[in-house]
Structure 1
Amino acid sequence: MALRYRFQKLREKVQLHGDNEQHEQTDSWSNRDLIPLPPARRTWGWFHFFGYWAISSLNISNWQTPNSFLTLGLSVGQSMLIIVLGRLLIAGFSVLIAWCGLEWHIGFTVQNRYTWGMRGSYIPLLQRILLNFIWTAVQCWNGGRLIAVCITAIWPSFARIPNTLSASMPTTTYQFVGFILFWTFSTPFLLIRPEKFKLPFQVISLYCGIGMLCMMTWALATANGVGPLWSTGTAIPSTSMWNSSWLIMSGINQMIGGIAAGITNGSDFSRYSRSPSHYVGGTIASAWIVGIMVSFIGLVTTSAAQKIYGEVYWNPPDLLMVMMDSGNGSSKARAGVFFLSLGFALTAMFENICGNAVAGGIDLAGLFPHYINIRRGAIITFIAAWVVQPWQLINKATTFIQVLSSFSVFLAPIIGVMATDYYILRSRKVKLSHLYRTQDSDYWYWHGVNWRVIPAWLGGWAPTVGGLVVTVQGKANPPRGLVELYYMAFLIGFFVSSTIFLVLNKIFPRGGMGEYDEVDIYGTFTAKEAARLGVVGLDDAGDVIEGVERAADVEDKKGTTEEVVEKN
Structure 2
Amino acid sequence: MENNKQSNEKEKLIPPYNSTITNSDILPVKRNLKRWGALDFGMIWIVMSVGVLTWEYPWFGIFLGLPWGVALLMEFLGNVITLVPMIIQSHAGAKYGLAEPQVTRTRWGIWGAQLPSLVRAVIGTGWWGIQLFIFTEIVAGIYLYLSGNLGRIVMPLIKSGSANSYTISLADPTLFWSVFVGVLVAELAFLYFSPIKKGQDTLRKFSLIVGPLSILSLTAIFLYEGFRDGWNFGSLPPAFGPFSPIAALSFLAGNTANWLTMAISMPDLVRFSKSQKSQIYGQLVLPVTYIVFGAMSVLGTLFAYNLVHSTIIDPVLLSLLTLPAPLLMFVLLSLLLETFGVNTLANLLPPGYDISNIFPKKITWFRGVLIATAVGLALGAWSFLGSAYNFVDNWLLAYGTALGVIVGINIADYVFLKKFSLDVDAIFTKNSKYWYWKGINPASMITFGVVSAFLYAPVFGVKLGPLEVLSEVGPISGLLMGMALYLLLMRLFKLR
Give TM-score scaled by structure 2 length. Answer: 0.86
Give TM-score scaled by structure 1 length. Answer: 0.76
Residues in 2 aligned to 1:220 and 1:103: alpha-carbon distance in whole angstroms: 46
Residues in 2 aligned to 1:386 and 1:322: alpha-carbon distance in whole angstroms: 30
* Aligned match of 1:543: none
2:367 maps to 1:382: no
Confirm or deny: 8 A CA contact 2:136 2:179 kept in the other structure.
Answer: yes
Residues in 1 aligned to 2:132 and 2:14: alpha-carbon distance in whole angstroms: 37
Confirm or deny: 8 A CA contact 1:270 1:279 kept in the other structure.
Answer: yes
CA-to-aligned-CA distance 1:91-141 (integer Å, 9 cap, x gap): 222112222212222221111112111111111122122223332223212
Equivalent residue in structure 2 for 1:42, among 34, 37, 59: 34
Residues in 2 aligned to 1:351 and 1:73: alpha-carbon distance in whole angstroms: 29
* Aligned match of 1:225: 231
* Aligned match of 1:302: 301
Aligned pair count reads 472
Which amino acid in 2 is paired with 1:201? S
* Aligned match of 1:539: none
Q: CA deviation at 1:75?
A: 1.7
CA-to-aligned-CA distance 1:301-340 (integer Å, 9 cap, x gap): 111111222211001222123226xxxxxxxx23322221
Equivalent residue in structure 2 for 1:499, among 468, 484, 488: 484
Equivalent residue in structure 2 for 1:205, among 211, 215, 234: 211
Confirm or deny: 8 A CA contact 1:150 1:337 kept in the other structure.
Answer: no
Which amino acid in 1 is paired with 2:352? G
- Asked which structure has the greater RCO (Cα within 8 Å, sep 6+), the reply is 2
* Aligned match of 2:187: 186
Confirm or deny: 8 A CA contact 2:448 2:482 kept in the other structure.
Answer: yes
Q: CA deviation at 1:175?
A: 2.8
* Aligned match of 1:134: 126
Name the CA shift for 1:415/1:16 in 2 (closer, same or farther; >3 Å). farther
Confirm or deny: 8 A CA contact 1:55 1:205 kept in the other structure.
Answer: yes
Confirm or deny: 8 A CA contact 1:416 1:498 kept in the other structure.
Answer: yes
> Alignment partner of 2:281: what SS?
helix
Confirm or deny: 8 A CA contact 2:100 2:267 kept in the other structure.
Answer: yes
* Aligned match of 2:360: 369
Q: CA deviation at 1:84?
A: 2.1
CA-to-aligned-CA distance 1:219-278 (integer Å, 9 cap, x gap): 00111114556x2356743xxxxx544333222111011221121112222221100111
Alignment of 1:479-558 (within 5 A): 481=466, 483-510=468-495, 513=496
CA-to-aligned-CA distance 1:351-409 (integer Å, 9 cap, x gap): 1111111111111221222233333322332354444456777679x969953422011
Residues in 1 aligned to 2:237 and 2:486: alpha-carbon distance in whole angstroms: 45
Alignment of 1:314-325 (within 5 A): 314-323=313-322
Unaligned runs of 5+ in 2: 154-169
Residues in 1 aligned to 2:239 and 2:380: alpha-carbon distance in whole angstroms: 39
Confirm or deny: 8 A CA contact 2:58 2:72 kept in the other structure.
Answer: yes
* Aligned match of 2:159: none
Residues in 2 aligned to 1:171 and 1:404: alpha-carbon distance in whole angstroms: 27
Residues in 2 aligned to 1:321 and 1:157: alpha-carbon distance in whole angstroms: 12
> Alignment partner of 1:28: what SS?
helix
2:221 maps to 1:215: yes
Confirm or deny: 8 A CA contact 2:112 2:439 kept in the other structure.
Answer: yes
Which amino acid in 1 is paired with 2:101? T
Which amino acid in 2 is paired with 1:485? L
Name the CA shift for 1:463/1:386 in 2 (closer, same or farther; >3 Å). closer
Name the CA shift for 1:108/1:159 in 2 (closer, same or farther; >3 Å). farther
Confirm or deny: 8 A CA contact 1:159 1:174 kept in the other structure.
Answer: no
Q: CA deviation at 1:470?
A: 6.7
Residues in 1 aligned to 2:449 and 2:416: alpha-carbon distance in whole angstroms: 20
CA-to-aligned-CA distance 1:402-446 (integer Å, 9 cap, x gap): 5342201111111111111111112222111111121x4111122
Alignment of 1:50-69 (within 5 A): 50-69=42-61
* Aligned match of 2:266: 266
Confirm or deny: 8 A CA contact 2:88 2:411 kept in the other structure.
Answer: yes
Confirm or deny: 8 A CA contact 2:18 2:429 kept in the other structure.
Answer: no
Name the CA shift for 1:442/1:259 in 2 (closer, same or farther; >3 Å). same
CA-to-aligned-CA distance 1:158-201 (integer Å, 9 cap, x gap): 8879xxxxxxx998224323323432443321221334322210
Q: CA RMSD in A?
A: 3.2
Residues in 2 aligned to 1:188 and 1:81: alpha-carbon distance in whole angstroms: 39
Residues in 2 aligned to 1:309 and 1:159: alpha-carbon distance in whole angstroms: 12
Name the CA shift for 1:22/1:41 in 2 (closer, same or farther; >3 Å). farther
> Alignment partner of 1:54: what SS?
helix
> Alignment partner of 1:495: what SS?
helix
Equivalent residue in structure 2 for 1:445, among 419, 436, 439: 436
Name the CA shift for 1:383/1:434 in 2 (closer, same or farther; >3 Å). same
Name the CA shift for 1:52/1:89 in 2 (closer, same or farther; >3 Å). same
2:464 maps to 1:465: no
Name the CA shift for 1:16/1:370 in 2 (closer, same or farther; >3 Å). farther
Q: CA deviation at 1:283?
A: 0.4
Which amino acid in 1 is paired with 2:20? S
> Alignment partner of 1:356: what SS?
coil
Name the CA shift for 1:423/1:137 in 2 (closer, same or farther; >3 Å). same
